[in-house]
Structure 1
């Protein structure tokens, strides 16, 4: 069965299918993980209840992007090393296409626990080494370095003056201002106490990184062939062979490990047609999706 292609812009705040408007849930770009893992219940960490980053920590934990410690703690206020950050972004965005050449670092031996994660984070464009050929994996990553890494790796566009949010924006290094502006525009922002201060050179905490990665996932661009609609669930299914945004890949494996169901935002999916297996459409924040009748 095929679906007829057409365009329509209607029904703000809902999804239109066969004449019915169905409320939708917020879009979340789900990494390439099995359904059982993607829907796993988050662990109850002993030290995150009531924490300002509890929502983001639980969300990433439920997707196996981050984890806690054997004693049941998450240690949200502990600093994050460059190696740990590489492991986190590699897990969150592991299906992106490579954009940078691989590099070997003099201080990252092949048997280092995060050597593969560091290699992947580098080729994905999230993080780089130093001019002297080192990576400094055990060094703490700063807030500004983490934000710049996400903005660079995701190739974010747009710009918002950080000074409109942060009273200490003048302390943001000149080399980072452009990427921080892009990140700010795309919703990657400081959260928690004193959120009006960026404190760019402060070591990023595990809570900070959880928030940044969670926010970045909301901006993860996805394009593809829509193969199935489920209005009651507010969901669509994209085919494995879908077209991608430049530089991005979506590996889909929730339904029989070859497709992925995406939740659609209330502001999303318009002016695009769809049909199984052929054609493509891009999900964006200004679109609506309407189902056409089947054709022979």
Structure 2
């Protein structure tokens, strides 16, 4: 069951999308600006879900293993839940048979419990995750849909012409990636593998698609109090609940034309959410400046 989680990086939806800027990432010695995945590699780094190696490289052409995916999506889930590997609720989760508690890679072990608990990644009938195996594109489609809560868009047609080459139980997830713009190719090549650079772009597009879900409701902002003659400090953003259950933040433009700062009273102002057909209300309380603690007599 999906719970409402707030994105741990204080995500703000603006103009239909929010992604950190690649300009703030540190970069890698083996990723040039001419690489078609350059921006997404740096954005994935800024998001904290796909990082490089201690030697400063990213190894963009390296084939993606299932262990890479477990770690990347495990870190993403921790950010979503605002938890750490030690505080995420994994009690009672049965470890994958081939990633036991005694694993030399303890990061992989802990994150494998996270992705299993979150329903992102499951094993084969023998409860094996097969971390050393390469990740096929159809397998990647399944875990991306699970991790980013991507939905089947009924009013959008998937433009994938080689679904017949995918296993039947992966076809719906591949179509969902296409519908949400995570993949824009007509030949998905479901049984082929993916490079780390390609995976960075899949991650960033999935994140973008997750936050592009329609707004279902707005969480009413707390009233704002000010004093006569003083401009109130209005919130720049409000929290919204998206149709996929995500709680995010979005910018709002306030209309203060109905606010009278010359008289004490309670006023209701309206605000328009950026890039959405939503008008919300905010109560502004104008108090008397003389309502202060009395000065003690000496």
Cα RMSD over matched residues? Answer: 3.9
Q: Note the alpha carbon deviations across 1:67-87, whole angstroms, 9 max, x for none.
A: 112332211121121121011
Deviations 1:127-162 (A, max 9, x none): 100101211111111111111112133443224554
Give the 5 Å matches for 1:42-57. Answer: 42-49=25-32, 50-57=34-41
CA gap 1:235/1:39 in 2 versus in 1, 3 angstroms = farther
Bigger proportion of residues as strand: 2
CA shift, 1:264, in A, is 4.6
**Which among 128, 137, 140 is matched to residue 134 of structure 2?**
140
Task: Map residues 1-296 of structure 1 onto 2, 5 A cutoff.
Answer: 24-28=14-18, 41-49=24-32, 50-94=34-78, 95-96=80-81, 102-110=93-101, 111=103, 112-113=105-106, 114-159=108-153, 160-162=156-158, 164=159, 166-190=160-184, 195-220=185-210, 224=219, 226=221, 235-238=236-239, 262=249, 264=251, 286-290=276-280, 292=282, 294-295=284-285
d(CA) in 2 for partners of 1:28 and 1:227?
24
Query: Mind listing any 5+ residue stretches in structure 1 that lack a counterpart?
Result: 1-23, 31-37, 251-261, 269-282
* Whole-Å separation in 2 of the counterparts to 1:170 and 1:200: 9
> TM-score scaled to structure 2, two decimals?
0.62
Distance 1:228 1:90 in 2: 37
Are the aligned partners of 1:99 and 1:125 in contact in 2 as well (CA < 8 Å)? no
By how many angstroms is 1:25 displaced? Answer: 4.5
Structure with larger Rg: 2
Higher relative contact order (CA 8 A, sep 6+): 1
For normalisation by structure 1, the TM-score amounts to 0.63
SS in 2 for 1:47: coil
Q: For the structure 1 residues 85 and 264, does the alpha-carbon distance in structure 2 shift closer, same or farther, using more than 3 Å as the test?
A: farther
Question: Per-residue deviation at 1:118?
Answer: 0.8
Maintained 8 Å contact 2:98/2:129? yes
Structure 2: any 5+ residue segments left out of the alignment? 1-13, 82-87, 225-234, 254-272, 287-298
The count of corresponding residues between Structure 1 and Structure 2 is: 227
Distance in 2, Cα, partners of 1:235 & 1:198:
41
Structure 1 residue aligned with 2:85: none
